[in-house]
Structure 1
Amino acid sequence: MSTTTAIVAGPDDDGIAPALEAAGVDVTRLDGVITRPQLEEAGIVAAELYVLTDVGQATTIPIACDLNDELRTVVYARDTIPEFIKGQLDLAIDPQLMDASVVADELID
């Protein structure tokens, strides 16, 4: 069985990256202002999951989807997702409602 790969973008105050790693996912972290070249360098083309924790970087979701048709996109953040992103988003979860370990388990099943 191959290892699931994920890119977690943004600050991770709620611990989604460690929860994914504990569930056996190979996680690459991106922080700061995220660009297309950074996504490409991080391996977005081959990744299975793109988890965004900063809705201020929501414009990275269409870029990631453009680079990888098979990508599952997840926002794990307390803030509301901009309307223009919702069509390209597979899942949006508020960390206050669901613990990171539960989310990680759901994402790899």
Structure 2
Amino acid sequence: MNHAVVIGSDPDGLGEALEERGVTVARATGTANRDSLVEAGIEETDALVVTDVGLATSIPVARELNESFRVVVYSRDSIPEFARTSAGLMVDPDLMDVDTVAEELVSQG
């Protein structure tokens, strides 16, 4: 993995953990709408990291721009049903720390 787009406030610091492992991390700000996703580089990204499941509506928007990235949900909250099929990895921060998740993501490419 070379590039990740993070949506949400990322309170546990998964974005920073990825950066420490050499991944370029961009953040789609605000509601992670189409313009924000494009500005963050969604068209070229390897992963969309969702840290706020309230922004899960951004997943199908991002898929319109790039069909080949992996969706990673890192949140204590449940992701809405419509977005579950898009999520390649769903992890509760209480069950797995950011360093372990970041290491796994980087090792899987």
Normalising by structure 1, we get a TM-score of 0.93
> Among residues 66, 77, 81, which one is paired with 1:83 in the alignment?
81
Aligned ranges for residues 24-35 of structure 1 at < 5 Å?
A: 24-35=22-33
Q: CA deviation at 1:32?
A: 2.2
Does the 8 Å CA contact 1:76/1:93 hold for their aligned counterparts? yes
Secondary structure at the aligned position of 2:77 is classed as: coil
Once structures 1 and 2 are overlaid, which stretch shifts more, 23-32 or 69-78?
23-32
Tell me the CA shift for residue 29 of structure 1: 1.6
- Identity of paired residues, percent? 49
Count of aligned positions: 107
1:9-30 C-alpha deviation (Å, 9 max, x unpaired) = 1111111011000111000123
Query: TM-score normalized by structure 2?
Result: 0.93
Letter in 2 for 1:54: D
Which stretches of structure 1, 4 residues or more, deviate above 6 A after TM superposition?
A: none
Deviations 1:39-67 (A, max 9, x none): 01111000001101000000001111221
Which residue identity is paired with 1:108?
V
Per the alignment, residue 62 of structure 1 pairs with: 60
Task: Verify: 1:4 aligned to 2:2, yes or no.
Answer: yes
Q: Which amino acid aligns with 1:25?
A: V
Kept in 1: contact 2:29–2:36 (CA 8 A): no
Partners of 1:107 and 1:64 lie apart in 2 by 19
* AA partner of residue 16 (structure 1): L
CA distance in 2, matches of 1:44, 1:12: 17
Show CA shifts across 1:54-82 (max 9, x none).
Answer: 00000001111221111101110100011
Aligned to 1:13: 11
